[in-house]
Structure 1
Amino acid sequence: MSDVLLEAEDLAKHYPVTEGLIRAKRVGTVRAVDGVSFTVRRGETLALVGESGCGKSTTARLALRLIEPSAGRVRFDGVDITTLDRAALKAFRRRAQIVFQDPYASLNPRYTVAQTLSEPLEVHGIGDAASRRARVEELLGLVGLAPFHAARYGHEFSGGQRQRIGIARALAAGPDLVVCDEPVSALDVSIQAQVVNLLRDLQQRLGLAYLFIAHDLAVVKHVADRIAVMYLGRIVEVQEKAALFANPRHPYTRALLAAIPHPDPSRRGRIVPLGGDLPSPLNPPSGCRFRTRCPFAQARCAAEEPALVDGVACHFADALPPAGLDFSGGLAPNAQRRLALYAKAGAG
């Protein structure tokens, strides 16, 4: 059995841009995701990070085929899910689930918690009524809620409790992969710590693999095994977590890390701040998409698109000066506090 659970190959999602109401004319294409490749191994957490609008959440939905790709393939346990028919896709979704960002919008307000958690079991034909009730009670215990919570509705819970219910729903059918689409970004910092530790505990207990979408580097540093950095619809760097924080190789990754304030100015690194705004995915720059903001850009960067080689998509990655970044204690004070909370908070 292969160690790779999920594999995306040259995955793309393009949206047409039209003008006119009666005779709509196509005037361009938004390249939300444009040739993304990555793998998620069994039992590991791959974090996907980048600026807002870089294509992280779209990639997550493509990985589960919640939206149809414009090009590329997604293989789950060796099977290409982009070619599956309706019945086979339903079977796949028993093994791959998602936790959404907004715990307030992701629960049906008309359903009790028991109905919310038993629905996946009914959809996939798992068990009878008695075994489903027992499974609901088991799921509530897994995420730190009490059996009596099953009779309540979503509006009766706090944001953190709602997200626990969303996690329990994702686990109901016994998946191997859970996509976490910024699962703590809408929560209070202290509650973030509890939910992050819950996810880590569940991964250890159940052997889950996570595709973890995030923009908070404190969260990523705490949960990830490997990190993939996205910029304007493409992955520009993939490394093991420790290696990426110790030696970021792509100029964009360096800029992301150097942008974190440090309480000691002498340890902030020697990175030139980024200039300009994120280019439009409707008209991305030629060659390297980061070149318009990169302090190391040269003529080759405009003429030739860099391939992802040895985990980095940069023509001059091996020739860049040392980053001079120190992350031994180098996260911002508020990020340091979050890491401390993550370390101390219990999974329950």
Structure 2
Amino acid sequence: MSALAATDATAPQPLLSVRDLTKAFPIRGGLLKREIGSVRAVDGVNFEIGPSETFGLVGESGCGKSTTGRCVLRLIEPSSGELRFEGKDVMSLSGDRLRALRRDIQIIFQDPYASLNPRMTVGAIIGEALTIHGLATSRPQYEARIVHLLETVGLQADHMTRYPHEFSGGQRQRIGIARALAVEPKLIICDEPVSALDVSIQAQVINLLEDLQQRFGIAYLFVAHDLSVVEHISRRVAVMYLGRIVETAASRQLYSTPKHPYTEALLSAVPIPDPSVKRKRIRLKGEVPSPINPPSGCHFHSRCPLAKDICSTEVPKLKESAPGHLVACHFR
């Protein structure tokens, strides 16, 4: 049994299983725009998400976490790897079968200003999915469903006739959540859903997502760079660096006893509200390498305080260092 598999034989099958997922974007140059290289944005990513679970995916900007989320939904086509949703091979789906899958997997986008069509009313934005998937057979049923969704996310019935520019950022993100809920999905990919919002509004949206999970049993792939937000909402967390997952563990375990040097450095930078609490700040040397030409071996070795010769030549495997705690490091 692989390290990613559940250790308990009676554990439920994963809702989503991702194996060796890669995505390379071509770099083109010259007069003929030939491919002269590639950016390996996602480089052999593996994880599983169980029913009604929140799985956090964190890392610096440009590490590949949002690309991973969009590859799962196939908004971006993966270069290689395996995606399974409820045991079905997602990579083999096309046409109507892929559209049917998207009823089960939805996405909440990062920018609540750019993700809503300014020419459509809120009712039309939310109701579009109902029309596409044939979930409302009459106009009264269609409108009643939209009103119910608006009220579910804390908005009012008369908001359905308004346009996105009439709402605040937090209200727009609630509209995006209502749109994702419209088709009763089993998994929602939350692509940094609160990073564009004020801190007080962030808390309201996170609490709403948790309430919806308890009410409807939805699973979340929660993509974010804010470690404190991920700690609050996630049951398990994976840390990404330059396209690879370097550590995965239960949220409480990862935050209390991080194993990978990169995770330790990230956590040391999280502000602590209590000034009496002292914590050593880990400062990494150098800059994040270019994803166009990442370091050989372990991508983190050029900045790692533990690096030895082996780190520049061999890619560390994601292995279990403690029950349920996986780390990709030669020395941990």
Partner AA of 1:224 in structure 2: S
Correspondence list, 1:1-348, <5 A: 2-21=12-31, 23-128=32-137, 129-262=139-272, 263-264=274-275, 267-269=278-280, 272-310=282-320, 311-317=326-332
Contact 1:261/1:268, CA 8 A, preserved across alignment:
no
Offset at residue 215 of structure 1 (A): 0.9
Give distance in 2, aligned partners of 1:193 and 1:264. 22
Give distance in 2, aligned partners of 1:38 and 1:306. 16
Offset at residue 24 of structure 1 (A): 2.4
Identity %: 58
Offset at residue 162 of structure 1 (A): 0.5
- Change in Cα spacing, 1:242 to 1:73, as seen in structure 2 (3 Å) is same
Partner AA of 2:116 in structure 1: L
Partner AA of 1:39 in structure 2: E
Deviations 1:261-286 (A, max 9, x none): 445476313x6410111111111111
Give distance in 2, aligned partners of 1:41 and 1:267. 37
Structure 1: gaps spanning 5 or more residues: 318-348
SS at match of 1:293: coil
Give distance in 2, aligned partners of 1:60 and 1:233. 12
Contact 1:75/1:81, CA 8 A, preserved across alignment:
yes
Offset at residue 172 of structure 1 (A): 0.1
Partner AA of 1:316 in structure 2: F
Offset at residue 72 of structure 1 (A): 0.4
SS at match of 1:291: coil
Contact 2:18/2:45, CA 8 A, preserved across alignment:
yes
Contact 1:101/1:183, CA 8 A, preserved across alignment:
yes
Deviations 1:165-221 (A, max 9, x none): 000000001000000000001011111111110000000000000000111112111
Contact 2:269/2:282, CA 8 A, preserved across alignment:
no
Give distance in 2, aligned partners of 1:295 and 1:272. 10
Deviations 1:282-304 (A, max 9, x none): 11111110000000001111121
Offset at residue 2 of structure 1 (A): 4.2
Contact 1:272/1:295, CA 8 A, preserved across alignment:
no
Give distance in 1, aligned partners of 2:201 and 2:275. 28
Give distance in 2, aligned partners of 1:196 and 1:2. 26
Partner AA of 1:18 in structure 2: R
Partner of 1:343: none
Give distance in 2, aligned partners of 1:28 and 1:57. 21
Over the aligned positions, Cα root-mean-square deviation in angstroms equals: 1.3
Q: How many residue pairs align between the two structures?
A: 315
SS at match of 1:4: coil
Give distance in 2, aligned partners of 1:202 and 1:316. 41
Deviations 1:24-49 (A, max 9, x none): 23221111111101111100100100
Give distance in 2, aligned partners of 1:77 and 1:119. 26
